[in-house]
Amino acid sequence: MKFKTSCQDVTSYITKDGSLIKELMHPLVHGNLAQSLAEATVPVGSSTDLHRHNITEEIYHILSGSGVLTLGNKIIEVQEGDSVCIHPGTPHSIENTGAKDLRILCCCSPAYSHDDTEIL
Give CA torsion, residues 106, 13, 10, 34, to 10 deg. 40
Q: What is the pLDDT of residue 20?
A: 87
Task: Please write the tens of the pLDDT for every residue from 5-60.
Answer: 777 888 888 888 888 889 898 888 878 888 999 999 999 999 999 999 999 999 99
Give domain 7-119's CATH architecture: Sandwich (2.60)
The residue extents of the domains of the chain are: 7-119
Q: What is the pLDDT of residue 79?
A: 98
Q: What is the pLDDT of residue 38?
A: 94
Q: Pick from 49, 30, 34, 55: which is nearest to 95 by CA?
A: 49
Task: Please write the tens of the pLDDT for every residue from 56-103.
Answer: 999 999 999 999 999 999 999 999 999 999 999 999 999 999 999 999
How far is 59 from 54, CA to CA, in rounded Å? 15
